[in-house]
Structure 1
């Protein structure tokens, strides 16, 4: 297989402890089955090194804020003035701290009573599920829900009950079968950019006495009049119990956030393992997020440009024959199928200066690997046309017509649940 991946070169500069057989077998299996047999001796996520002319579509900086001068200034001033601050768990913070004030400001932005800043979106999700579910609680998971939510179920010792992606009818059948529990969805799904039917899901949760958790990682900052997210913009804050978000997306920072009631926030800080056993955010991170929030609220043109850019690419890539799997957002994925085929796609794109993110198992089901484009507001019309032209030029080279996703695009609507059932079977091993 032609493969332009960066070769994995392993060297031993220092003596290491001898690995026991049970670990040696696992590590050897990875290098044999994935690195050598599947990736041709390289790494699926490390292809060419981009040059200055490359278009980088691998960053989740949707609003193009990572180098915003106002945010950089606030962050650097805080670092120079306070250094790294007090290094301790956030459970020790008092109400008057800068982080506590930012939690209130972010919660108000999302039309919520209270909020808790966490080290990451992963910590927010795993910590939340761990504190609201136990071994007696069925947790109803959209089959494309983020892996951090699945990990939360495992940590809680709860039972995960999958339902077909974005299928409220099937969810309701599962709840009627297994009883009230926790329903977990993403507002926008990270692998394919589809949007959750939140109104229908909230209605089922209310009728069946379930807790509803919505991960807004990919809609916070990008959706709503001021970027408040889909739940608030749709007027569903009184029907969604908990919202979480990674601030490593539109906020271009490094933190997670949970919105909830004031009463629950105190409970969470003292019961969530990630909250207790992780260090608090550093002062310059708090200052940067605070400044970012102000920019997101004021510079609405960034959201407008983001949505125009994403709509343009969705329209033209769909017309070229790519199956975008119901993307309705700034996340646009080309599902090439096998990991070997995804390397071919990656190499074809990168050879022409287009760099996306490779998603493969365990981030996707087996043989549903893809290249994800994260669209941002900094892309010009010239950039957009360049992406479209490259995707048009490589269709034969990457054998687009024979991708499984292309065959699904050509299939009749009656096969949709058969496809979902196939994904669910694949994901059973992933989850």
Structure 2
């Protein structure tokens, strides 16, 4: 008689954790638990529905739609298949003949600079550069909406940080006049609103008060300027800007960061920038993919034209429907509902209709300035934009964008003018 064995379900493992310190426990109870329970309703605010295969995705940063490009994929595959001796180590040990160094110089040449450095991420690029060029005696002047990594870089440098009002060169001038020569830090295109920096005016203020200037081109590299070389190149300001940084996880759709510096600073940077010193280098297939992506981006004028057309179209239609998106002009569109709870409602109404964007809230925004951030790409088709516009029209009476705090503030400002 055959005895059949019945497989029992695997027991769920039980983990025992030591007690946390009282200070951490109190901090979580004070800063996070009320937000989780009351504002988020017991679920992570940034996670909505799972997108289906036919979802319209406005939640990525691949502005020129280069993901999956045959030339890029082939370069990565060739690098993976190639027999080579590769040592996983810090990039500071790589010699000048290394492919990473070739890419660094190619990127620097593209944006019009002498030298450059590849890092693990845009965050580490900003932290590492500022740590190397600022110190406790160097005032750093940051736009209030500058990338969080730039603020963290100032903190890493132990430098005094001085905020100036967003896109306000006159306020920057007053702050710099009070605190003396230092470093001005701006984004070329701001990551939450899509606002374009008045870069020429910022450079003039920096020069007037004897400051260096750092421009984060994360959201303009590849999309602006000749062959996508960025806003500094588009405006003819490259030779007046001291440092350019960028995440290569935006238009490059990769996983890396980059910053420029004068050639004479090369070995100083490799001796002073902790992310460069203490992070391992990128892998060969990542470098090969980024190098191929650079060539694709340089040839992508048609994609840049389509991106601008898509941006102009959707910004125009959303504005006509009453959505207050006046704070930006580029391919990033902020639907700033205000409170996190209201933004979660907006997110759910969009996702129910198959439109997916990214929810931004504190610490990425102010505590009462949460938003759904739509990021456009060259690959969006007219039918997809038709659907986004139809959804925006359908949900407008539900979410009432004309009553959002940002809309009320805009009306109050116009009334005072």
Q: TM over 0.5: same fold?
A: yes
- 2:87 is paired with a residue of what secondary structure? coil
CA distance in 1, matches of 2:54, 2:255: 27
Q: Which runs of 5+ in 2 are unaligned?
A: 1-11
Counterpart CA distance in 1 for 2:341 and 2:85 is: 44
Q: Distance in 1 between the 2:404 and 2:107 partners? A: 43
Matching residue of 1:110: 111
The CA deviation at 1:154 is 0.9
Partner-residue secondary structure (3-state), 2:228 = coil
CA contact (8 A) 1:89 1:275 kept: yes
Per the alignment, residue 204 of structure 1 pairs with 205
Alpha-carbon separation, structure 1, partners of 2:169 and 2:368: 26
Write the distance in 2 (CA, Å) between the matches of 1:98 and 1:211: 31
Offset from partner CA, 1:15-63 (integer Å, 9 cap, x none): 2232121122223345521211110011111111111121111110111
Question: What residue in structure 2 maps to residue 56 of structure 1?
Answer: 57
Question: RMSD of aligned C-alpha atoms?
Answer: 1.5
Larger Rg: 2
Map of 1:324 onto structure 2:
325
Q: 1:375 to 1:13 in 2, by over 3 A?
A: farther
Distance 2:84 2:58 in 1: 33
TM-score for both structures, normalised by structure 2: 0.94
Contact 2:226–2:233 at 8 Å: present in 1 too?
no
In the alignment, structure 1 segments of 5+ residues that lack a partner are 1-10, 417-431
| Matched ranges for 1:173-252 at <5 A | 173-252=174-253
TM-score where L is the length of structure 1: 0.91
Aligned counterpart, 2:68? 67
Return the alpha-carbon distance in structure 2 between the equivalents of residues 166 and 64 of structure 1.
Answer: 29
Check the 8 A contact 1:335/1:405 in 2, yes or no: yes
Distance 1:354 1:200, change over 3 A: same
1:80-159 superposed matches below 5 A: 80-82=81-83, 85-159=86-160
2:372, 2:84 → 1: CA distance?
Answer: 39
The structure-2 alpha-carbon separation of the partners of 1:397 and 1:153, relative to structure 1 and needing over 3 Å to count, comes to: same
Would you say the 8 A contact 1:349–1:390 is kept in 2? yes
Question: Do the aligned residues in 1 keep the contact of 2:188 with 2:231 (CA within 8 Å)?
Answer: yes
Cα distance in 2 between the residues matched to 1:265 and 1:197: 30
Say how many residue pairs are matched.
Answer: 406
Q: Show the counterpart of 1:377.
A: 378
Deviation, 1:271, is 0.5
- What SS does the corresponding residue of 2:184 show, helix, strand or coil? strand
Indicate conservation of the 8 Å contact 1:192/1:325, yes or no: no
Deviation of the 1:145 alpha carbon = 0.2
Bigger Cα displacement from structure 2, 351-360 vs 28-37: 28-37
